[in-house]
A = this chain, B = another copy of it.
């Protein structure tokens, strides 16, 4: 397990088991670091060069894996009580770096598609509730995409 600069962010490498009929890719186990609870699993497709974000969850922890393509995640910390206030980190996940990204609540997240087809799985510890998330226009957080 690796820890990014920002407090509350974890990157956990996941196994890819090679199989001639089609590989198996691990995503999340109940006993794994970063697992909190199961609320909902959903996919998000992100087209090449396109960006989704910024979004901040107030209560929900995200567990993100990219089984196909490549996605750049950028995380921005504006929590006043954090040791990493004002920091912005990025990581690329996907076929070339098959890991799981855990993001604690309270952090701003945006992500960009890097390949022709990019698929993200998010396993969240609560079911979707728009009232617990905040959204910001892309240009409201300074990051050079």
State the A residues within 8 Å of B (CB).
Answer: 19, 21-31, 37-47, 50-52, 67-68, 113, 117-119, 121, 123, 127-128
Provide the residues of chain B in CB contact with A50, threshold 8 Å.
Answer: 21-22
Provide the residues of chain B in CB contact with A46, threshold 8 Å.
Answer: 21-22
The chain B residue with its CB closest to the CB of A21 is: B50
* In contact, B47 and A21 (Cβ under 8 angstroms): yes
* In contact, B41 and A121 (Cβ under 8 angstroms): yes
* In contact, A123 and B30 (Cβ under 8 angstroms): no
Provide the residues of chain B in CB contact with A45, threshold 8 Å.
Answer: 19, 22-25
Please report the C-alpha to C-alpha distance between residue A52 and residue B21 in the assembled complex, in whole angstroms.
7
* In contact, B39 and A24 (Cβ under 8 angstroms): no
* In contact, B30 and A42 (Cβ under 8 angstroms): no
Please report the C-alpha to C-alpha distance between residue A26 and residue B65 in the assembled complex, in whole angstroms.
15
Please report the C-alpha to C-alpha distance between residue A24 and residue B46 in the assembled complex, in whole angstroms.
9
Q: Given A68-B119, A119-B119, A127-B31, is A24 in contact with B43 using a C-beta cutoff of 8 Å?
A: yes
What are 28 A-B pairs with beta-carbon distances under 8 A? A19-B45, A21-B46, A21-B50, A21-B51, A22-B44, A22-B45, A22-B46, A22-B47, A22-B50, A22-B113, A22-B118, A24-B43, A24-B44, A24-B45, A25-B43, A25-B44, A27-B41, A28-B40, A28-B41, A29-B39, A29-B40, A29-B127, A29-B128, A30-B38, A30-B39, A30-B127, A37-B38, A43-B121
